[in-house]
Structures are given as structure tokens and as C-alpha cells.
Amino acid sequence: MNLSNKAQLNNNLLNQIRYQLEVVEIHDYKLARILCKIIPSHCPFERTVTILGRALFRIPPLCKLNPLYEQVVGLRFKCLSYLVDECGEDVTKYC
């Protein structure tokens, strides 16, 4: 298998995973709660490095570089919506 075929296979696999994440429907209270707990509400990599109270530099959020970022965030939103709309749960604890 040459390099072009491997890249195309990886791209097809990535697109398939994106599609599968987009079409997931949430109908389980426990699953929705678990996903809301494990998918962070903000990018966990963003940091401001400070020494002696002075900010030296900032590491920008790198989540946008993740090829599945939009789909994972969408899945978290579906879970939050399910918990609010169908279960009447207060989701502020997940924010």
C-alpha cells in the first residue's frame, strides 16, 4: 500500500468516525451524565504560565487541532440538551 492509499484510508476512517459521532442519539440518562462528566466544557490545554504573579506566556487552546473536536463538542451538547429537556436536570454542575 503506497503513501497515497494510506492517507486516503485514514481520511475515510476519520470521516466515518465523524459521521458516527454526529448521528449518535442520546436516550439514556446514565450515558448522558457520563459523557457530560468526561467531555470537558472547555479546552483543558489552555494555560497561562505565571511566575511570581506575572504572566509570562499563554498556551492557546489546542482543541481546534483535534480533527474530531466539533463532533465531540456536539455530542456533549446533545447530552446536555437531553438532560435538560427530557430529564429536567439542572446541568450547571457540568459547566
Give the model confidence (pLDDT) of 34-93 as tens digits. 999 999 888 877 888 898 989 988 888 888 788 899 999 999 999 999 999 999 999 999
Q: Per residue in 1-38, pLDDT tens?
A: 565 766 676 778 899 999 999 999 999 999 999 999 99
Q: How many CA atoms lie within 13 A of 18 on its CB side?
A: 11
**Considering its fold, how many domains does the chain have in total?**
1
Kind and range of the H or E run holding 49: strand 47-51
- Which domain does 31 fall in, by range? 3-94
**Radius of gyration for the alpha carbons in the chain, expressed in angstroms and rounded:** 18
